[in-house]
Structure 1
Amino acid sequence: MTATAPQPAPHTGRARISKRSLRTDHWWIGPTLTVLGLTAFLVYGLARVLQQDHYWVAEYHYLTPFYSPCLSADCAPGSAVFGTLPWEFPWFLPYAVVSLPLLLAFRFTCYYYRKAYYRSFWQAPTACAVPEPHRSYTGEARLPLILQNSHRYFFYVALAITLLNTYDAALALGYGLGGGHGLGLGNLVMLTNVVLLWCYTLSCHSCRHVFGGRLRSFGNRPIRYWMWTQISRLNTRHMEFAWITLGTLMLTDAYVLLVASETIADPRLFATSG
């Protein structure tokens, strides 16, 4: 009778590799660019909301999205289209104290942004086949990361604020067309920003879930199916819109800043009478 060769014991641990990683490509470029991009937006946004100036162009009714809605009693006349609170804010409190934290919470809990800063800032992991510096992993099942599940609720807030930004852009457009100033470059900047904000908000995974996540069949809901289909198409580009809108928000704010501070003049694309 032939003897059976002994079988090797099953491997239960990680492979013993002396090198930090076997990857030879420039895997660190992506995480590094993510850190630089997100940091640039946060630093710029913090500097601007604490500046408390050059956020409103009364002549053309331009209001930067970083200050909408303006709630302090000392907001520039005309900039608080929905009224203000009865007191002035201290220097460290942004005029848009309600909307800004909620918008940041919406983006901070966004599925794409979570992936982005987990891999870059937190390095969990930085890239595939690259070891992470953490000894344990608990996921999002307990504090503090369990709070990431609140993203579905912040979506409704972001939807309302996107409507508010749309109202600001429409008001500036109507003011220009009917107020004797004509259509300016600032109108196009604000409208472009609003359109892209809608693309980012509607491409959100929570939005897709609202329109079709709980349904077993679209058979008798053709309109809802069409809407879910369009949102699904946008959803495939959610990452792109996440980055593009960071850029358009800064661009829109910077443009209003330059015009409000009289650094540049707002070009009139065509003039109206009135």
Structure 2
Amino acid sequence: MGGRARIAERTLRTDRWWLPPLVTDLGLAAFVVYATIRSFVRTAYWVPEYHYLTPFYSPCLSTSCVPGSSHFGTPIGALPGFIPLGFVVLPFLLGFRLTCYYYRKAYYRSVWFSPPACAVGEPHAKYTGETRLPLIVQNVHRYFFYVAMIVSLINTYDAVLAFHGRTGGFGFGLGNIILTGNVALLWAYTLSCHSCRHITGGRLKHFSGHPVRYWLWTQVSRLNVRHMQLAWTTLGTLVLTDLYVMLVSSGVFPDPRFVN
């Protein structure tokens, strides 16, 4: 048998194969730009009347945080402006997203170009997979998953505290629907992770001998098939939640209240 056919063209495809990678690039870039700006501005991230806290600043553990926004105290002193107030968890959440199995496919094709599309040549001279830097870092995804679980619990706690009325006691408004919906989708995205699927059902030789773990595995597997959709949806809900809190906190419009 001879070697591979030598074709000078990068690809013989005539369709717009470049469109999906381009859309992925634009979507990820838009989120990164928005999230970066919002993480550093340090304004309009807390609504004291209703205890709305944007997830980009949770948990806020520094004395630089506005009064009331620190649900877990302020064990960290004042921070200089070049450090985001949510710096405790932001690197781990970024690591969880970057090493996510779906996002690997997304930015391998749109950023790393390995390859950018099926039957399209890649610019790399050779392929080393995830055995060398920088891609070897992908192997720590399972550890980022555990941190993501903790962050989801913190976001859930924030959403529960947000059921607060203007005059005290229980309150319920449009912001609560947005915050709770965001948390529910974040949980769905986190639990649909491939690492979670492996934790619930991996290393088992016989599902029949482990009915509880089998049931958990089947539930996670149902979510897992929607992991791509949840990955993009949660980027959107994070921006929506932060934008809503910012607008209400800035006084652009009041939060529509249903109770108190």
TM-based fold match above 0.5: yes
For 2:245 and 2:231, the matched residues in 1 are separated by 22
Question: Could you say which residue in structure 1 is the equivalent of 2:211?
Answer: 222
For 2:245, which of 235, 238, 256 is the aligned residue?
256
Amino acid at match of 1:194: V
Question: Secondary structure of the residue that 2:103 maps to in structure 1?
Answer: helix
Query: What do residues 99-153 of structure 1 show as CA deviations (whole Å, max 9, x unaligned)?
Result: 1111000101111111110100111100000111111111101222211100001
Q: Percent identity over the alignment? A: 63
1:24 and 2:24 aligned: no
> Which structure 1 residue ranges, 5 or more long, are not aligned?
1-9
* Residues 1-150 of structure 1: pairs in structure 2 closer than 5 A: 10-12=1-3, 14-150=4-140
Amino acid at match of 2:193: C
Query: What do residues 214-270 of structure 1 show as CA deviations (whole Å, max 9, x unaligned)?
Result: 1111212212111110100100010110000000001000000000111111111x2
RMSD, matched Cα: 1.4
Question: Could you say which residue in structure 1 is the equivalent of 2:153?
Answer: 163
Query: What do residues 40-97 of structure 1 show as CA deviations (whole Å, max 9, x unaligned)?
Result: 0100000001101110000000000000000111211111010013410000101111
Question: Secondary structure of the residue that 1:112 maps to in structure 2?
Answer: helix
Contact in 2 for aligned 1:180/1:271 (Cα 8 Å): no
Question: Could you say which residue in structure 2 is the equivalent of 1:234?
Answer: 223
Contact in 1 for aligned 2:96/2:141 (Cα 8 Å): yes
Which protein shows a greater Rg? Answer: 1
Question: Could you say which residue in structure 2 is the equivalent of 1:153?
Answer: 143
Contact in 1 for aligned 2:156/2:183 (Cα 8 Å): yes
Question: Secondary structure of the residue that 1:39 maps to in structure 2?
Answer: helix
Question: Could you say which residue in structure 2 is the equivalent of 1:3?
Answer: none
The structural deviation recorded for 1:204 is 0.1
TM-score (norm. length: structure 2): 0.97
TM-score (norm. length: structure 1): 0.92
For 2:8 and 2:130, the matched residues in 1 are separated by 31
For 1:220 and 1:140, the matched residues in 2 are separated by 35
For 2:76 and 2:138, the matched residues in 1 are separated by 34
Query: What do residues 5-59 of structure 1 show as CA deviations (whole Å, max 9, x unaligned)?
Result: xxxxx212x3122432111111111000000000001000000011011100000
Question: Could you say which residue in structure 1 is the equivalent of 2:259?
Answer: 271
For 1:92 and 1:168, the matched residues in 2 are separated by 25
When structure 1 is superposed on structure 2, of 154-163 and 135-144 the one drifting more is 135-144
The structural deviation recorded for 1:179 is 2.4
> Number of residues paired by the alignment?
260
For 1:240 and 1:223, the matched residues in 2 are separated by 27
For 1:195, which of 177, 184, 206 is the aligned residue?
184
